[in-house]
Structures are given as C-alpha cells and as structure tokens.
Structure 1
C-alpha cells in the first residue's frame, strides 16, 4: 500500500475562479477517493466537493450526457485547459460557439459510432465518512457541461472498465435511495456485458426498491441490445419515424399483449434500429411481461 500511495502525484490546475479548483491525483486508488476528497475539501474549507475519474467506450457521436451549469464549461475543458480563459470555456461567447460546433457535428454524423471519454463523478459531503459521504453520482461526457456549481474537483485520471466496475459494484451495498439509482446507472454505462448484464438482471428480478428495478431495467435493455448487435438509431426516414412512433404508442396503450407484440418485432423485423426500439420498450410496458422477457434475453446474451 505504501508503494502504491507513493506513486500518487498531486498537481493543482488553475482554472477560472468561478469554476472552483481542479486537482489531479492520477494513481490514487479508487478506494481512497472519498478520504482524499475530504482532505482536499478541508484544505480548501469547502463543505462539499466533487471527485471522479474517466472512462472510454464506443457510443454514437451525437451522445452527450451532462448537467446544466452557470459557467458553460465542458468537463474536458476543465480537465485540460489550454490558452486563455475564453478557450477554457469560462467565456460565455466561447461556450456558445463551442456548443454550436458540437450541434453541427452531431447533425452531420448522426448514428456514427466513435470512442468517447466520459467521467464518473461523485459529489461528497465532507460532514460524512466513507461511502455514506457520497450524495450524488453523475455521468458526464467530456464534451458536455458537468454542472459542478463552483465546487472543487478531485480528478483521479483515466481507469479501465474492469477497475471501475469492481469499484462501483463494491459501493452498491453501501448506498441507498437516489444515490443507489445513480450508481446503478453508472454501472449500466459500462461496456462489459459479462459483468454488467447479470448484475442488472438480478436487480430487475429481485431488488426491493421499485425505482432501482426501473432504472436497472432501462440500462439492461440498452446493454442487451448492444450484446445482440442492434444498431442505435441514426438519421431516420419519415417511414422509420412513423414505425417507431406507432410502436411506442401501441405499447403504451391498453393493449393486453404489448410484450408479445414487441417480441414479434424482435423475431421478425429486418430493421435493426426498430428491433432495438422494441427491445428498449420491454423495460416500460405495463402488462407484466416486459421485464421477465427482458431478463430471459439477458440470460441468453449476457454471457
């Protein structure tokens, strides 16, 4: 442990004052994240602090997940500042231009799969200790705003999917309520079917919290769709949009066998995007058969 801790290097990165301080701690064990964050917060006399690390995975180029922030700076610009304050994202005009560039790129590359970086962020309450100190978990792509609201950030660098998954699964039994829902979503975001799909399927089948079961079902549908090789929707024709809308309306009506209809789409359609939409709808139908059918597919494709 001493050897492991010895390789931790702290580097303060100056940023726009309103964004709070960012400190890099590449090499810090994930299990030490909370204690290191509390130490940094105490040093800065802050009552709350964010801590997090980075992952990469394949996703559509127009996928962005983030949070509204008053500053408009992306997570990537906070972690890798270059040039002037405006170039760091602190300038409102720069933030608007940057958002416009991303929107144009999205419109030109709908559905194109790329490798993107995203952060797993934890808000930590300094008044608590251990995992109980975590009061929110967020996923933020590097090209989106994290909405840190001026709180400092301890950044632990990039981690592998396996290391991240082991850490998050270890937190599952120590979190509750909305924090656990956030955590389930973070686990579901990983590109590791053999570890993620069985975990989510168990939650869907037996977790006592309804909100956790619902969250797990939504992420399970996405991961099973990936495992089945069902493409994400790209630029749709009018006919494709009509079919998807009809599928959604049908499965959200009082139709007695919505699950059966969705399964028939999965079995007979030659439209990969429509089949993915049908699979995603299994997590939402109210006829009592959607989630069991989804779990059955998870057993088949989650190995």
Structure 2
C-alpha cells in the first residue's frame, strides 16, 4: 500500500499542469480613449468660425473699395461704437436708440407669436386627432400657407384701421402654419396601440390629450414653435418698414432716408444676433424635452 501511494505521488509530480501545456490567449486590453484637451477642442470649433468671419470681412472690404458710398468694416465698427454707446436714448418719436427699437419689435413678435401658439397648437392637436377636421382644414392650410407675409398686411390695416395691430396680425397669420402642421403630424405618428389601450381603459378625450398625446407630440410641437419664431422675426422687419413707428424695421428705413448706411449694416447685424438667440433658445428647450439621447 505504501508503494502504491509513492507511485501516485511520483506520477503526479511528473504530470505537467494544464496551464503549462496549453498557453492561455493574451487578454486584449481595452482600447484607450484619446484624451481630448479642452483647448484643442475649443480651437477646433473656433478656427472654422474665424475663417468664415475673415472671408466675410474680406468680401465686405472688396465690395466697399469697388463701390462708392458703401462703408468699410472699419467705418461700420466706428459707427457701431457710437450707436451702442447710448442704445436707449430718447430724442423724440422718430429719434430713439436702437435698444428701444429692438424692444418694440420683440413686443410685437411676442404678441403675434403668442396668439399664434394659443390658436395653432390646439388646432394642430384637433386636426391630427380627428380625420373629419383634417379633411376640412388641410385644403385651406395648403391654400393660405404659401401666401407672402406682406400680402396679409393690407388686410390687417383694413380690419384694425391702425398700424400696431396690423403688424401683430401679420406675424400671427404667418407663424401659425408651422405650429399647426408639425403638431398635426406629430399626433398622426403616434402608434395606434397607445390609442387602443386608451379605448380599452375607457379614458376620456381630455385624458387622452393630456396623458398620451401631449407628451408624445411635445418634440414636434417645439419644432413647429422654433420654425415659427424665425418666420415671425423675419416678418416684423418687413412689416415695420411699411407701417412705420418704433421698431427695428422702421429704424432701418429711417437710416436709409438719412443715408446712414453704416447704421443699416449695424441693424442687419443686430437682427441676425437676436434671431440667432431666439432660435438657439428654443433649440435648447427642444433638446430638453426630446426623447433622443443627447451626448
């Protein structure tokens, strides 16, 4: 018995381990993420913007040198320092700072755009929810939506007999269509299973609107709102040129009558900046309520 135990021990010592006979495959190390330096990422974003700005300034300078009366970028910058030194001065009805004019335009945009949202978003829900209403209003929307914004201004002057409500009316009638169309399309894209479950549970129409339709359609609604605010800001400038009064559009027309081309270019820059801020603000709001994952 003792000899058998010794034989087993000797055989175990002579048998190599499995790890010694079959080499294990090397474990692949996880790929290293490239470290992105904050300064490098910032430069990658700023350099293309700077190149585009330099290209614009170069074209502007060439145009100014080859045409009489057109100001150079330096002349416009000097005029901008004077304009923005006192943006809220008040020298009379037709002599007010650019700040007051921008605020007046934004007030008209808020009035017309807010009324369009109050009417357009519920109308879009109803058109998307009920087939009869869609068949009734879709031909009217297709007929009226392509009409030029300024074509509605004389109608507003005739209805309200004043320039102030006519401008807000023009904004209302031009900015309502994107909200109606995007909201209706969002409602129509909701899966039918959701509505079938609501019917099984015997939910009221108000509960369906509040609990099912509105959360699902909110991204589409915000897309329509973003498109409408851009249209509203475009329309107000043209409307104020025709109606007069306080506003950035009238300020441009008044500076043209005074042959202050530098101030016209400044106003164009201000209009672009305000429109960009309005659109970016609504885009941030849309991302906040979007279902898509934002990285």
Give the TM-score range, shorter chain.
Answer: under 0.3
Higher strand share: 1
Taking structure 1 as the reference length, what is the TM-score of the superposition?
A: 0.20
Taking structure 2 as the reference length, what is the TM-score of the superposition?
A: 0.20
Larger Cα-atom Rg: 2
